Chains A and B, each alone.
Chain A
């Protein structure tokens, strides 16, 4: 019985890394942009992730929650998040100013299958806050433009003022290597120059693409999925090439706390990116 007390393991997957808020500003009335750098420079640069993965962010005194990473791994060093005010943790986050410390750990989840998507068309359809995870994959495609065939972006918001990353998307809209259509459900400003209507009204405006050679990436509010999926099936995009990223409550991100369990799988380990086939196949996904 002279067993030594065991040393704590080298890495504790639950231990957040201190990170500093570099920039933060409002994107819309209830969505804020956060640019964050892990305080330890070496760790900041070695934080490798894939588009579609997420990180756990903690605010001391409020708690911890999962957030999609909105920045692209092709621009290392800084992490960006696009966060909607929705609960205790986000309320606390919104009160924090630049230079404040938060906790961060990750990246977690499967992310988008970028390797498989190479040499294919990439069709990105985002609605509202769905821009948060899809901006990562969009910027990644644009930064590695020669690795992909046609890149198309369809982005819908309720009103012009609610369009997340509006300025950024207007900036890239005129790129020749990107087909970009923006739409709002209603224009209450009278100054909206783009399409008016739900995001599905953008489909007829799209140039024809070879569906077998296309990956479609969808993220948005629950109501959007039904109609967008119908359009994608009409285009004859295979169901296992339609990718969606899902939201669940999580307390750990590493498959232990159980909150994100669906059937056999844990959203944090096996997701959050699922194919439409997975969604049809598994219950309760959306």
Chain B
């Protein structure tokens, strides 16, 4: 792979040049300490010193609500207005892995044109990161990324090592060839290797996924699920922040004047009660514990069977988000028979009723 060097001070000018005719999406600060992926008008808005955004980047490819069709009785007119040409800068390895999982999913048997078109129109420019207390991407082996990006920016002390992952990425570099140095010094390489080792040491959270498919099967009827189900608020936050959640609902919004409808596709959440209802009001997953089991079966068992890796990329969003500490870490530790100080102890003491 071709690797070049860019001075950090040249990053913003570079982003400005490449986004001249394209939407630029990047992490920006929201509230005081949060970050979101947003479309930026001015590159100075970009803040690369972030750990995780509130919502994963899939919102750019399949927005929380978008119009699939403008329909009349005679014709369903497709709408791909969300799939504009974009550059997504600043995406971390775990989120790129999340998109690679979504790529597999949305191309499985049938291709979902709403996803693939948005995906094909977006260039991914990754950025290196540093784990906080919730990150466990080392456990899911998604802390490094070798494919899927067009460019990847590894931050050193004053420079970036820029990995060129695709021909389109190379085209971007050629727009400002003078900014990039072809020659890397031994010092740069040493610095990069040391940084990587230090980063590997910096992970504070570990989740053992190896036994999870077996444990999900062996403990499917274990009372711990009832306890977790009782604590769960069924708010759906975990699914909204998960980079590999794909569920959606389709709503038909009648437009009386046009004698037609707008067919919208909205994010949906398997932890909501209405999710598994069928005609006549029968519900296959009435209990919150049943719905949580579905989610965890999917993430830490079914994905492993189907695609060979978990449907979790260790981004830590569910850990940072769930108000009652139900997340991939606590649930898998509970399944593993380990005492989990967070909600699990409180549950055992009966503090959460």
Contacts and interface: CB of A to CB of B under 8 A. Distances in A.
Nearest to B247: A258
B308 to A, nearest CB: 13
A261 B294 contact: yes
Interface string A6-25: 10110011111010000000
A9 B111 contact: yes
B69 A15 contact: yes
A263 B297 contact: yes
B73 interface: yes
Given A60-B73, A86-B280, A259 B268 contact: yes
A284 B290 contact: yes
B146 interface: no
Interface in B116-150: 116-117, 120-121
Given A101-B73, A264-B305, A60 B261 contact: yes
Contacts of A103: 71, 76
A167 B276 CA distance: 35
A269 interface: yes
A20 to B, nearest CB: 11
A256 B104 CA distance: 11
Given A64-B250, A247-B279, A259-B276, A13 B74 contact: no
B248 interface: yes
A16 B109 CA distance: 18
B16 interface: no
Interface string B74-117: 11101010000100000000000000000001101111111011
Contacts of A252: 248, 250
B175 interface: yes
How large, as a class, is the contact surface on chain A?
Answer: 35 or more
Contacts of A222: 282
Interface string A83-114: 01011001000000000010100000000000
B93 to A, nearest CB: 24
Contacts of B252: 58, 60-64
Interface in B283-312: 284-285, 290, 294, 297-298, 301-302, 305-306
B302 A256 contact: no
Contacts of B284: 248, 262, 284
Interface in B1-46: 18, 21-22
Interface string B43-62: 00000000000000000000
Interface residues of B, number: 61
B254 interface: yes
Interface string B170-184: 011001000000000
B68 interface: yes
Given A9-B116, A14-B68, A60-B260, A257 B249 contact: yes
**Which of A16, A65, A87, A251: most chain B Cβ within 10 A?**
A251
A279 interface: no
Contacts of B69: 14-15
Contacts of B117: 6, 8-9
B168 interface: yes
A105 to B, nearest CB: 10
Contacts, number: 128
B78 A101 contact: no
A133 B21 CA distance: 53
A18 B306 contact: no
B278 interface: yes
A108 to B, nearest CB: 9
Q: Is the interface of A mostly helix, strand, loop or mixed?
A: loop
B284 to A, nearest CB: 6
Given A8-B117, A86-B280, A257 B268 contact: yes
B251 interface: yes
B113 A1 contact: no
Given A256-B106, A257-B249, A16 B278 contact: no
B241 to A, nearest CB: 16
A11 to B, nearest CB: 8
Contacts of A269: 109
Contact of A6 (B121, B254, B301): B121
A255 interface: yes
Nearest to B302: A264
A273 to B, nearest CB: 16
B277 interface: yes
A84 B280 CA distance: 9
Nearest to A265: B302
A261 B285 CA distance: 11
A60 B112 contact: no
Nearest to B114: A14
A13 B298 CA distance: 24
Contacts of B191: none
Interface in A1-46: 1, 3, 5-6, 8-9, 12-16, 18
B212 interface: no
Nearest to A63: B252
B162 interface: no
A44 to B, nearest CB: 16
Interface string B250-262: 1110100000110
Nearest to A105: B76
Contacts of A178: none
9 contacts: A8-B117, A14-B69, A63-B250, A63-B252, A84-B280, A254-B110, A256-B105, A264-B301, A269-B109
* In the complex, the 6 A-B pairs of residues with the closest C-beta atoms, listed nearest first: A258-B247, A86-B279, A254-B110, A61-B254, A63-B252, A264-B302
Given A264-B305, A284-B290, 18 more contacts: A3-B121, A9-B117, A13-B113, A14-B68, A14-B69, A14-B114, A15-B78, A16-B76, A60-B72, A60-B254, A249-B278, A249-B279, A256-B105, A257-B248, A258-B268, A258-B270, A259-B275, A264-B301
